[in-house]
Amino acid sequence: MSMKLPHHNRIRKRFSLRRDAFICVFLAITTLAAYGNVVKFDFVYDDESYITKNGNVQAGLTPESVAWSFTATDAHNWHPATWLSHLLDYQLFGMNSGMHHLTSLLFHVANSLLLFLVLRNMTGDVWRSGIVAALFALHPLNVESVAWVAERKNVLSTFFWMLAIGAYVRYTKRPGLSGYVLVLLFFILGLLSKPMLVTFPFVLLLLDYWPLCRFQFRKSDNGPGAQQRTPVLHLLREKAPFLAIAVAFCIITVIVQHIRSLEAYPPAVRVANALVSYMSYIGKMIWPSRLAPIYLHPGTVAVWRATGAGLLLACVSMMAARTRRKHPYFIVGWLWYLGTLVPVIGLVQIGLQSMADRYAYVPLIGLFIIIAWGIPSFGNGWRCQRVVLGIVTVMLLMGITMRTWMQVQHWENSITLFEHAVRVTPNNYVAQYNLACGYAMANRKEEAIGWLDKSIKNGNKYWNIIKTDTDLESIRESAYYKNLMKAMAGD
C-alpha cells in the first residue's frame, strides 16, 4: 500500500497541472477573442499625448529618450516605466496602432493569468480562483483599460501588482531578505507605471488576514495554522517600508499632477460624489451598460442619493464585519474594493470626471472574490449544486464576453468612440468636443461644426482651447468659427 502512494500523488499532481493549464488556456483564448479586434483599431483622443503628438516617444529608444522618460511629466503624470513601454513599442512598431493595442491586450491576458495563479496559490481553490480571473479578464468595465493605448499605465502597473503579490506569497512561505526585496522591487516598478498602487501595503495586510491567515491577535491563539501566524505588530512593521515608499509617490503625484484645488468643490460635494461613485461602480459591475470614456462631474449631488449610497455602504460594511470569522473572504474582498478606490474616488478632485471605468480595474477584483467564494456558500446542501452553479457560471461568462466584445467595438476610432459617448451621456460637452475634433480630422466639417456648437453651449467658455487645437484647423476658416470667436471676444 505504501508503495502506491507516490504513484497516486504523481497522478494527482499531473491532473492538477493539466487542470491549471486548461484554465490558463481558456482564459487566454476567450480574452483574445473578446478583444481581438483591437489590433485593427486606430489611436483615439488622448493617445496623442502618449504617441501621435509626442516627439520624445517618436524618437524611439535612444539614450536621450530614456533619460527623458525619467524626468518627463507629460500627460500630468510621472510614470517612467510606462514611458519606456511606449518607447519600446514605437521602436518596434512605429505608428502601427494595432500593435500598440496588441501590447496592452497581452498585458491584460498576462494579468488575468497571474491573478488566477496567485489566487490558486494562496487559497488552494482552483475553480473559484479561475472564476475570479475569468470575471476580471472578460468584464466589460475593463474595456477602457485594455482598448485605450493611453491606459497602458493601468495594465502595466497591474502586471507588476500581480507579480508583487505573487512574490509576497512566496516570501510568506519562505521568509528571507531576497524574497522581501523582490516584493519591494515589483512594488516600485508598479508605482513607476502608475501611482495608484499606493494602496498596495493595505492590500498586503488584507491578504495576511485571509487567505494567508498570518494574523496572530493573541499569544494564546492556537487555532488552525497557529504555528505560521505572526503578531499583528510585526506584520505592521513588515509593511513600513512599503508605506514609506507609497507616501513618497503620493507627494510626487500631488506635485506633478494638475490637482484641482480642494475648493473647486466643497468637501460635502466631494464626499457625496465619492459615496455615489462607490455604488455606481457596483451598479456598472452588475449591469455594465451606458459605459463611456468620461462621466462629467455633476457639480452637485442630490442629498438623497448620497445618503442612500452611504447607508448601503455602511450596511454592507457592517455585514462584512459581523461575518468576518465565518466568511473572511467577504470582509477582505469588500475592503479591497473600498480601499483600492480611495486614491481615485474623488475626495481630491483630479480632472473633470466624477468617476471612470478604468479606475475600477483593480478594485473590482475584491468584488469578484466575494462573488466567487460567496455564491457557492448559499447552495451548500443542494443535491445539484455543482451542476446548477456550473450552468450559471457558463451563462454568465458567455454573457459578459459578448457584452465586452460589443463594448470593444466602440473604441475603433475617435468618431465611433464619441458617437457612442454622446448617445449614452447626453450634454457631455467633453464628448461632444472630442467628436467635433474627430469629424474635423476626417474632413467632415459640417458635422464637426454642429458638435462644436453643442459643446460650447453646454460647456460655456471652457472650450476656449479651440483657438489653438490643431485638430480643428480644417474648420478655422468657416463662417461659424469666425462668428463664434467674435461673439466670445465680445462677451
Q: Enumerate residues 6+ apart whose C-beta is below 8 A from 309.
A: 275, 276, 278, 279
pLDDT in tens, 150-187: 999 999 999 999 999 999 999 999 999 999 999 999 99
pLDDT in tens, 25-54: 999 999 999 999 999 999 998 898 899 989
Report the distance separating Cα 131 and Cα 116, nearest Å: 8
pLDDT in tens, 287-319: 999 999 999 988 889 999 999 999 999 999 999
Q: Which amino acid is at 17?
A: L
Please check whether residue 404 is in contact with residue 139, taking contact to mean a CB–CB distance below 8 angstroms: yes
Q: What DSSP state is assigned to residue 50?
A: I
Residue 2 banded pLDDT, cuts 50, 70, 90: very low
pLDDT in tens, 442-480: 888 888 888 888 888 777 544 555 555 555 665 656 655
Phi first, then psi, for residue 354 (nearest 5°) are -90, -30
Q: Is the pLDDT of residue 8 over 80?
A: no
pLDDT at 468: 55
For the chain, the residue count is 491
Please check whether residue 37 is in contact with residue 105, taking contact to mean a CB–CB distance below 8 angstroms: no
Residue 3 banded pLDDT, cuts 50, 70, 90: very low
pLDDT at 143: 98
Please check whether residue 478 is in contact with residue 444, taking contact to mean a CB–CB distance below 8 angstroms: no
Report the distance separating Cα 304 and Cα 97, nearest Å: 45
Q: Which of 130-134, 259-263, 386-390 has the highest mean pLDDT?
A: 130-134
pLDDT at 1: 42
pLDDT in tens, 108-121: 999 999 999 999 99
Locate all alpha helices (DSSP H) within 342-478, ordered by sequence: 364-378, 385-409, 414-424, 429-441, 445-459
pLDDT at 219: 59
**259 has which bridge partners?**
350
pLDDT in tens, 339-389: 999 999 988 877 778 899 999 999 999 999 999 999 887 666 666 777 888
In 3-state terms the chain splits into helix, strand, coil percentages (rounded to 5) of: 75, 0, 25
Mean local confidence (pLDDT), 134-146: 98
Report the distance separating Cα 301 and Cα 341, nearest Å: 19
Locate all alpha helices (DSSP H) within 36-151, ordered by sequence: 47, 63-69, 80-93, 97-123, 126-138, 143-147
